[in-house]
Amino acid sequence: MKIAATYDNGNIFQHFGKTEFFKVYEVEDNKVVSSEVISSNGTGHGALAGLLAEQGISVLICGGIGGGAQSALAEAGIELCSGAQGDADTAVDAYLKGELVSTGVNCDHHHHEDGHSCGSHENGHSCGGHEDGHSCGGCGGGCGSQPSITGPNVGKTCRTHYRGTFNDGTQFDSSYDRGEPLEFICGAGQMIRGFDAAVANMEVGQVVDVHLMPEEAYGMPNPDAIFTLEIEQLPGAEDLTVGQQVYLSNQYGQPFPVKVNAKDEKTITFDANHEMAGKELNFRIELVEVK
């Protein structure tokens, strides 16, 4: 099965008809086995359903979508989960776990085994269990005001091996361990800015070491992204533990990942900042191929 997500800066793009990229996930046994980013080639609303059908897409995960596009997807036999936001990989993971609720056509074959609710509540949040791994994608904070990335590889499909470490030498991610290079379109915002900028000027076969400050990676933590809720207003929250990563939805039913920061008898505090926010990151990057 193939799942497609509207894609921009590592996140779910919010306007289906204007999306420039889709991230396509190959799924076997309810697990993602591979993924790639494809271009919409400037295709507009009416033809996007056909483009996805040609790619063999079974499910589309997106943000906002109009009724005409919904009908076109239905005619093409493509299941729709709309209203998603945040990290694309996280949203697909949530879909596979039955935790992603569509605000458009309902994904009614999914169910909830953990007893948590994905419906909206008075406080605008609801809860569903979720485990989230690190992803190198996403622009982090403040990317919109920064100058565009330049270099001979910008706009080209690049394949890189990399190893990511914190300043104490602890490894947090490695394509070498997975045995497959990471493929992305350089300069398209699919990677954190510092990684993208390094690859933009590399030559095939070259290996570079880069040290990224938070502003070049996932940005600084936003204190407004930390919030406290009453446990009794959030079905399932009583079973959560500090440090656990879960999936909440806002008043529009749009899911987003958070981490449990604190909990007492009556309240629970969540942090919606990216887990890498505020961290300095080190990468050893090897450019394997440019297409």
How is residue 101 written in tokens?
A: 């609720």
Given 16, 162, 195, 283, which residue is catalytic? Answer: 162
Marked catalytic residue, from 173, 256, 270, 285: 173
* Residues linked to residue 285 through DSSP beta bridges, in sequence order: 162, 208
Could you say which of 22, 95, 218, 247 is catalytic? Answer: 218
Closest CA to 105 of 72, 82, 77: 82
Q: Is 218 a catalytic residue?
A: yes
Task: Say if residues 35 and 135 touch (Cβ distance below 8 Å).
Answer: no
The verdict on whether 166 is a catalytic residue reads no
Residue 227 annotated among the catalytic residues of the structure = yes
Active site residue 57: no
C-alpha angle 275-271-117 in degrees, rounded to nearest 5: 110
- State whether residue 239 is helix, strand or coil: helix
Does the annotation mark 162 as catalytic?
yes
Catalytic residue, candidates 38, 114, 227, 231: 227
Indicate which residue of 38, 172, 226, 231 is catalytic: 172
The C-alpha atoms of residue 230 and residue 112 are separated, in whole angstroms, by 22
- φ and ψ at residue 167, rounded to 5 degrees: -65, -25
- Clarify whether 195 is annotated catalytic: no
Is-contact 82 74, C-beta < 8 A? no
> Which of 12, 61, 65, 192 is an active site residue?
192
Q: Which residues are known catalytic residues?
A: 162, 172-173, 192, 218, 227
